[in-house]
């Protein structure tokens, strides 16, 4: 292993086919994909949204870089399939570049499609639930131009285990800041008044952020003729000015030249073509998500870390509820300006039909999910008082049964939630990209 020397203005993401040299792979990113889209828009960086199906149909033609945001790497693999994986490998080996954040970084490891000789540490050997601000120890690299503090955000990252020496570590972890968390424990509070060893015995996982010191956080290597940059740090975190600077540096470094403004990049004309009934239904669906979040807040199960991310107590699946809420909130906002096609009425009719179909399906799935989720959260809150539970382990048979229905036994997204979020995702992608997925 080598070491090398004002208010947000909302804009629509670049639609497939519009300008830009960076393709953002949307599939199985959900909340993290939306977070990346908004960060790139705020930084005024050009990109094109693509899905796995696009890759199989020449979607990387003319691109310089493939950017894969966070999300479960295992689900991304399934979505890509052998054909999609092959297209990515051909693109990178032929001189294209790959940029992966968190789950997108995991996708490129030997545990995924194998772009770099690096693995993810087994859960038992890492700090599996760290989140928040952490200082990086950076090297002399173009990514850090203009950076003064080198403090960024990591959100429940994996940890790298380097298998081969053919890559550069361009940043490693330094100390965690006091406002960060390990599981549901504030790092500053434990550092002053607690004991990590005692808490690790109680929680039965590694918690001390000291385990992260000097571990690789950002690495770079090559696959054939292309560069691969993998980061366990989220430079796309809302409100992170230093992260936005790194994003600009990444676009210059990987996409070539000073990035152009994202303004006017072939977006379709806006206009509200959604019916009043559809908009009203979307509003009602968002209200149901809001009720779930409110239930968790008043039962002290979570609180907001930033506009897109919750901090939840050990024992519940906070990420799923947060993902559903934020994506539905985004849909509700975008429904006010559904893109009006520039061609003929047939395209407008197709878009509206797709919106109605997806909204109706979301309504069918949301009702049983929300009702069971409320019951589950209250039961989990009570179980916390009785003994040790985690989001996947609990002695109560009723809790286990409801969890299996809502989320399955998988660590990654599953169960009724996965059915629901897939429909939400399809609708959101359509609104962001300017039309239904082909």
Q: Tell me: do 282 and 391 sit in the same domain.
A: yes
Same-domain check for residues 86 and 199? yes
Q: Residues 402, 322: one domain?
A: yes
Contact between 348 and 420 under an 8 Å Cβ cutoff? The reply is no
In terms of domains, do 315 and 356 share one? yes
Q: Are 295 and 335 in contact (CB under 8 A)?
A: no
Question: What does the mean pLDDT of the chain come to?
Answer: 88
pLDDT at 378 over 90: yes
Asked whether residue 252 falls in the same domain as residue 347, the answer is no
State the Cα–Cα distance between residues 40 and 47, nearest whole angstrom.
Answer: 8
Q: Which residues, including other chains, have CB under 8 Å from residue 402's CB and lie 6 or more apart? A: 372, 375, 376, 379
Sign of CA dihedral 404, 406, 408, 412: negative
Residues 180, 122, 166, 74: is their CA dihedral positive or negative?
A: negative
Residue 339 bridge partners (DSSP): 270
Backbone angles phi, psi at 402, to 5 degrees: -65, -40
Phi, psi of 333 (to 5 degrees): -70, -40
Residue 159 forms part of a structural domain: yes
Could you tell me if 150 and 185 lie in one domain? yes
369 in any annotated domain: yes
Question: Does residue 223 form part of some domain?
Answer: yes
Regarding whether 345 and 401 lie in a shared domain, the answer is yes
Residue 82 has pLDDT above 80, yes or no: yes
Q: What is the pLDDT of residue 7?
A: 28
One domain for residues 244 and 346: no
Indicate the residue among 222, 256, 290 that finishes a domain.
Answer: 256
Cα distances (angstroms) measured from residue 121 to each of 106, 108, 109, 159, 266: 11, 14, 11, 5, 42
Residue 352: domain span: 276-433
Longest CA–CA span in the chain (Å) reads 67
Domain end marker among 256, 286, 302: 256
* Strands 130-138 and 167-176, bridge-based pairing: antiparallel
Give the sign of the dihedral formed by CA 158, CA 163, CA 166, CA 172.
Answer: positive
**In which band, very low, low, confident or very high, does the pLDDT at 261 lie, cut at 50, 70 and 90?**
low
Reported confidence tier of residue 204, pLDDT bands at 50, 70, 90: very high
Over residues 56-64, mean pLDDT: 92
Cβ 92 vs Cβ 228: under 8 Å: yes
**Is residue 380 very low, low, confident or very high in pLDDT (cuts 50, 70, 90)?**
very high
User: How many other C-beta atoms can be found within 10 angstroms of the C-beta atom of residue 52?
Assistant: 21
How sure is the predictor about 5, in pLDDT bands with cuts at 50, 70 and 90?
very low
pLDDT band at 387 (very low <50, low <70, confident <90, very high): confident
Q: Which residues contact 281 (CB under 8 A, 6 or more apart)?
A: 359, 360, 363
- Residue 227's pLDDT is 96
Does any domain span residue 269? no
Pick from 234, 232, 237, 235: nearest CA to 216: 232
pLDDT at res. 9: 29
- Asked whether residue 98 falls in the same domain as residue 238, the answer is yes
Q: Which residue has the tokens 């299996």?
A: 404
Please report which helix (H) or strand (E) contains residue 154, including its range: strand 151-155
Are the C-beta atoms of residues 293 and 363 closer than 8 Å to each other?
Answer: no
Give 420-430 pLDDT, tens digit per residue: 999 999 999 99
The reported pLDDT for the residue numbered 263 is 44
Statement: residue 178 has pLDDT above 60: yes
Please state the domain count of the chain.
2
Cα→Cα distances 131→152, 232, 263, 315, Å: 11, 11, 33, 16
Q: Tell me, yes or no, whether 225 and 305 share the same domain.
A: no
User: Is the pLDDT confidence value at 12 over 50?
Assistant: no
Which pLDDT score, from 0 to 100, does residue 14 have?
A: 40
Name the percent of the chain in helix, strand, coil, to the closest 5. 45, 20, 35
Give the DSSP letter of residue 256.
Answer: I
Q: What is the mean pLDDT of residues 65-83?
A: 96
What is the pLDDT at residue 147? Answer: 97
Using pLDDT thresholds of 50, 70 and 90, give the confidence band for residue 327: very high
pLDDT at 11: 36
Mean pLDDT to the nearest integer, 232-258: 93
User: Has residue 160 got a pLDDT over 90?
Assistant: yes
Provide mean pLDDT across the span 124-135.
96
pLDDT at 224 exceeding the cut of 50: yes
CATH number of the domain enclosing 243? 3.40.50.880
Residues 158 and 214 in one domain: yes
Cα(107)–Cα(158) distance, rounded to whole angstroms? 11
Task: Say if 35 falls within a structural domain.
Answer: yes
- Residue 266 covered by a domain: no
Q: Among 339, 360, 368, 349, which residue's Cα sits nearest to residue 424? A: 360
Q: What percent of the chain has pLDDT over 90?
A: 77
Q: Which residue has the tokens 């054909």?
A: 83
* 16 inside domain: yes
Can you give the pLDDT at residue 411? 85
Q: Are 145 and 9 within 8 A, CB to CB? A: no
CB 210 within 8 A of CB 196: yes
Confidence grade of residue 100 (pLDDT, cut at 50, 70, 90): very high
Summarised one tens digit per residue, pLDDT across range 264-321 is: 333 333 445 556 568 889 999 999 999 999 999 999 999 999 999 999 999 999 999 9
The verdict on 226 and 286 lying in the same domain is no
The residue assigned the tokens 């992170």 is 240
Q: Which residues contact 177 (CB under 8 A, 6 or more apart)?
A: 132, 133, 134, 135, 151, 187, 188
pLDDT category of residue 13 using cuts at 50, 70 and 90:
very low
The rounded distance, in Å, linking the Cα atoms of 238 and 8 is 10
**CA-CA distance, 379 to 402, in Å (whole number)?**
10
Identify the pLDDT of residue 269: 38
Region 28-46: what's the mean pLDDT?
A: 96
23: nearest Cα among 40, 6, 35: 40
Give yes or no for residue 186 having a pLDDT over 70.
Answer: yes
Domain boundary among 190, 223, 256: 256
- In this prediction, residue 167 carries a pLDDT of 85
Tokens standing for residue 184: 């549901």
Query: Torsion angle, CA of 432/434/437/438, rounded to 10 degrees?
Result: -160
**Angle between the N-to-C axes of helices 345-386 and 397-407, in degrees from 0 to 180, rounded to the nearest 10:** 160
CATH number of residue 329's parent domain: 1.20.120
Q: Does a structural domain hold residue 270?
A: no
């Amino acid at each position: 292993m080598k070491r090398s020397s004002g208010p947000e203005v909302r804009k629509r993401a670049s639609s497939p086919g519009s300008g830009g040299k960076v393709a953002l792979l949307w599939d199985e990113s959900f909340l993290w994909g939306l977070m990346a889209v908004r960060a790139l828009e705020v930084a005024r960086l050009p990109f094109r949204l693509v899905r796995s199906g696009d890759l199989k149909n020449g979607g990387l033609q003319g691109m310089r870089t493939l950017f894969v945001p966070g999300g479960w790497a295992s689900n991304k693999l399934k979505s890509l399939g052998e054909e999609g994986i092959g297209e990515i490998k051909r693109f990178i080996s032929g001189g294209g570049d790959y940029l992966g954040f968190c789950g997108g970084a995991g996708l490129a490891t030997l545990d995924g499609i194998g772009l770099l000789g690096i693995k993810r540490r087994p859960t038992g050997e890492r700090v599996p639930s760290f989140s928040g601000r952490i200082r990086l120890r950076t090297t002399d690299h173009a990514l850090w131009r203009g950076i003064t503090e080198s403090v960024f955000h990591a959100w429940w990252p994996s940890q790298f285990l380097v298998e081969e020496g053919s890559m550069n570590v361009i940043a490693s972890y330094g100390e965690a800041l006091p406002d960060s968390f390990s599981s549901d424990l504030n790092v500053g509070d434990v550092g002053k008044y607690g004991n990590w060893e005692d808490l690790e015995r109680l929680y039965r996982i590694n918690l001390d952020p000291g385990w992260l010191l000097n571990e690789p956080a950002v690495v770079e290597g090559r696959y054939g003729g292309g560069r691969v940059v993998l980061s366990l740090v989220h430079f796309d975190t809302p409100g992170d000015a230093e992260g936005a600077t790194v994003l600009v540096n990444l676009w210059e470094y990987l996409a070539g030249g000073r990035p152009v403004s994202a303004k006017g990049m072939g977006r379709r004309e806006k206009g509200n073509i959604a019916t009043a009934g559809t908009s009203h239904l979307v509003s009602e669906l968002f209200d149901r998500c809001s009720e779930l979040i409110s239930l968790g807040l008043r039962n002290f199960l979570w609180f907001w870390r930033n506009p897109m991310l919750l901090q939840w107590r050990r024992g519940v699946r906070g990420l799923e509820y947060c993902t559903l809420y934020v994506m539905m909130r985004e849909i509700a906002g975008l429904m006010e300006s559904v893109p009006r096609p520039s061609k003929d009425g047939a395209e407008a009719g197709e878009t509206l039909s797709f919106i109605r179909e997806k909204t109706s399906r979301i309504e069918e799935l949301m009702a049983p999910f929300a009702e069971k989720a409320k019951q589950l959260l209250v039961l989990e809150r009570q179980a916390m008082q009785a003994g040790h539970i985690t989001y996947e382990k609990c002695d109560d048979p009723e809790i286990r049964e409801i969890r299996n229905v809502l989320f399955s036994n998988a660590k990654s997204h599953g169960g009724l939630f996965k059915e629901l979020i897939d429909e939400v995702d399809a609708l959101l992608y359509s609104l962001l990209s300017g039309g239904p997925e082909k």
